[in-house]
Chain A
Amino acid sequence: MTFVLSLVVGVLFGGAAYLMLRRSVVKLILGVVLLSHGTNLLLFLMGDGVVRGRPAFADPATGVAAANAADPLPQALILTAIVISFGFTAFILALAYRANQAVQSDDLDDMISTDRL
């Protein structure tokens, strides 16, 4: 399972890199979205398969956690990361829409007035 998920992370990162290098703003945004998905999956993978002691929330009587207890931290991290990337995706879509209205183009090469001398 870890192997398959690692492959998926790699494919997502590869697709993100490809899309982010395109000139179209829409593809650029899709690339950013794919990148954040890949990162979330990577965080998920980090919660498994590594020995790091026992979970923080253990049975107070015995001091031992249930045998199948999962590490809660990566889940909390992913949840936070999803919320943040969702908010940013919404913002960047609105920004791209306004930029498209102002420039009348979807091509990043048309958006270079602030780079020109």
Chain B
Amino acid sequence: MANHLFLPLLVPLFSALLATLVSQRPVLVRVIALLAALFNLGYSGWLLWIVGSTGRQITQASSYAAPFGISLVADGLSAIMLTLTALLMTVTIVYSFATVSAERERFFYYPLLLLMLFGCSGAFLTGDLFNLYVWFEVLLVASFGLITLGGERAQLEGGLKYVVLNLFGSTCFLIGAGLLYGVAGTLNMAHLAERLGTLQNPTLITAIAGFFLFAFSSKAGLVPVFFWLPTSYHTPAIPVSALFSGLLTKVGVYALFRVFGTVFPRELERYGSLILVIAGLTMIVGVMGAMAQVEVRRILSFHIVSQVGYMIMGLGLVGVAGLTAGILYMVHHIIVKTALFLIGGAAEHLSGTGELKRMGGMARREPILAALWLLASLSLAGLPPLSGFFGKLGLIQTGVQQQQWLIVGVSVAVSLFTLFSMLKIWNEVFWKKPPAELDLSALPRATLGLLAPGALLVVLSIVIGFGAAPVLEYSRLAANQLLDTQGLVRDVCGPDGCDAVTTTVSGR
């Protein structure tokens, strides 16, 4: 029993409640939010270490025996995602101090951030399929609040599409979970993994897995269900965009990894080639969409779509090597994408606009910001020795080993187009002469609060680039644990498996 697994859920929840109660005192609210995020960061760092040294951490809610109650399971992937979530949340909160208006702060900006931390942590820790649905809804409702907070026309238009399409995805998830319960009679992931291997009707399971593929694809922003993302991500406050870009689609990717790696390993083999096709199309459509855009955050939003394709490519290259590369790429992407949004957002914040043709000259005005942008965008494109290089290297190596030439070719070509888009922003925002109507000397200067969060993430990207070996090792550990169904069943339900527990209790 590892009851400490409840801590990263309870601390953000109670901090959110407390922050709501004292919402008349903005400074106190900021302190509470930052402390809660820092607590989660410290805790998940410890969890990374303890999972790495002693294996999965498991606890049962209310001490119900395993397949009956709700299990909380922390394995390598959960620990990685929890750490990144807490890191992003900390960075975003610090960045928000400098950029979010007092008006938005007064309407429960920080409590909503904490509730999102609560929902994401829950989604990464749960070992129960229906519970995963509930956590998805918790983080969705917080994200609904954040994306429409401010009530500008663009936010309402984008938010409406975001809300409806995400609700549709969640409903498909629920339908899948319901059907799966009807077939297997359980929702505990370990128990499901044990039972689905012995069921009579494998075709039915494949069809149900299709529901999950669709539902999580629409959360992750894969072709053809990504339309909600580029229409809404550029509308809210800058730190909210940054947080969503790093976190929300990745919860969908995490769910795909978790459900297809642990619960549906046979269906993953069947869907493998379809997933690769989706991955390739997602990369191409995302990057092509970005080329047409002329605003900083819109370009970056389309690139999220493109890069989710790489992670899914890791899933489609069925096996430990593919998943390892996918997880490593996800770690890199979460850090660098958020950095780009924070840095590009800072340029947008200083210029007062995100339209490329009305910006310019930032490299001379803010050289540190420009240097950070260059490093982050080269990392995104995958140039060594930055973190993006190793993420892509792993994926391409695995693809070559499995002789999936088409997807390897697509992923290399898309990298080039990514570089093109990043250089477009570099040229327009930082390098070119400012347009005539833009008076650079009248613009506000970048403060430490604007620069430090992005700088921290860029430094992390460089550190991961130079010290890729330990991150790769941990990703491999996470991928192995993800695919190790027997180990999961043993850890969650005991040595005899979950069916042994249910038959004992029901007296058969």
B-binding residues in A (CB < 8 A) = 20, 25, 28-29, 32, 35-36, 39, 42-43, 45-47, 50, 52-56, 58, 62-65, 73-74, 77, 80-81, 84, 87-88, 91-92, 95-96, 98-99, 102-103, 111-115, 117
Cβ contact within 8 Å between A54 and B292: no
Q: Is B154 an interface residue (CB 8 A)?
A: yes
Shortest Cβ gap from A106 to chain B (Å): 12
Residues of A within 8 A of B505 (CB): 56, 58
Residues of B within 8 A of A65 (CB): 506
Q: List 11 A-B contacts (CB under 8 A).
A: A20-B164, A20-B168, A53-B506, A63-B506, A63-B507, A73-B181, A91-B141, A95-B144, A95-B163, A102-B156, A115-B230
Residue in A42, A64, A117 whose CB lies within 8 Å of B293? A117
Cβ contact within 8 Å between B181 and A74: yes
Shortest Cβ gap from A28 to chain B (Å): 6
Shortest Cβ gap from A98 to chain B (Å): 6
Cβ contact within 8 Å between A50 and B502: no
Residues of B within 8 A of A103 (CB): 153, 156-157
Q: Is B332 an interface residue (CB 8 A)?
A: no
Cβ contact within 8 Å between B157 and A114: yes
Residues of A within 8 A of B183 (CB): 50
Residues of A within 8 A of B68 (CB): 56
Contact with A along B276-294 (1 / 0, CB 8 A): 0000000000000000111
A45→B161 CA distance, assembly (Å): 31
Cβ contact within 8 Å between B141 and A43: no
A-binding residues in B (CB < 8 A) = 68, 130, 134, 137, 141, 144, 148, 151, 153-154, 156-161, 163-164, 167-168, 171, 174-175, 177-179, 181-187, 230-232, 234-235, 292-294, 502-503, 505-508
Residues of B within 8 A of A20 (CB): 164, 168
A36→B141 CA distance, assembly (Å): 16
Cβ contact within 8 Å between A42 and B175: yes
Kindly list 19 other residue pairs between chains A and B, CB separation below 8 angstroms, not including A32-B167, A117-B294.
A20-B164, A35-B168, A36-B171, A39-B175, A43-B178, A43-B181, A45-B182, A54-B508, A74-B178, A77-B177, A80-B130, A88-B141, A88-B163, A95-B148, A102-B153, A111-B161, A114-B158, A114-B231, A117-B292
Cβ contact within 8 Å between B160 and A95: yes
Cβ contact within 8 Å between A53 and B508: yes
Cβ contact within 8 Å between B168 and A32: yes
Residues of A within 8 A of B506 (CB): 53-56, 58, 63, 65
Cβ contact within 8 Å between A46 and B181: yes
- Closest partner residue, chain B, to A36 (CB atom): B171
Cβ contact within 8 Å between B163 and A43: no
A92→B186 CA distance, assembly (Å): 32
Shortest Cβ gap from B163 to chain A (Å): 6
Cβ contact within 8 Å between B507 and A99: no
Residues of B within 8 A of A42 (CB): 175, 178-179
Chain B contact residues, majority secondary structure: helix
Residues of B within 8 A of A73 (CB): 181, 187
Residues of B within 8 A of A87 (CB): 141
Cβ contact within 8 Å between B154 and A113: yes
- Closest partner residue, chain A, to B178 (CB atom): A43
Cβ contact within 8 Å between A52 and B185: yes
A99→B159 CA distance, assembly (Å): 9
A48→B293 CA distance, assembly (Å): 52
A22→B272 CA distance, assembly (Å): 34
- Closest partner residue, chain B, to A63 (CB atom): B507
Cβ contact within 8 Å between B185 and A53: yes
Cβ contact within 8 Å between B167 and A77: no
A102→B171 CA distance, assembly (Å): 28
- Closest partner residue, chain B, to A29 (CB atom): B164
A81→B175 CA distance, assembly (Å): 11
The 6 closest A-B CB pairs, nearest first, are A63-B507, A52-B185, A46-B182, A54-B506, A99-B156, A43-B178
A111→B134 CA distance, assembly (Å): 30
Query: Which of B141, B153, B179 has most A Cβ within 10 Å?
Result: B153
Residues of B within 8 A of A84 (CB): 134, 137
Cβ contact within 8 Å between A114 and B168: no
Query: Which of A29, A53, A117 has most B Cβ within 10 Å?
Result: A53
A95→B175 CA distance, assembly (Å): 25
Residue in B177, B182, B502 whose CB lies within 8 Å of A53? B502
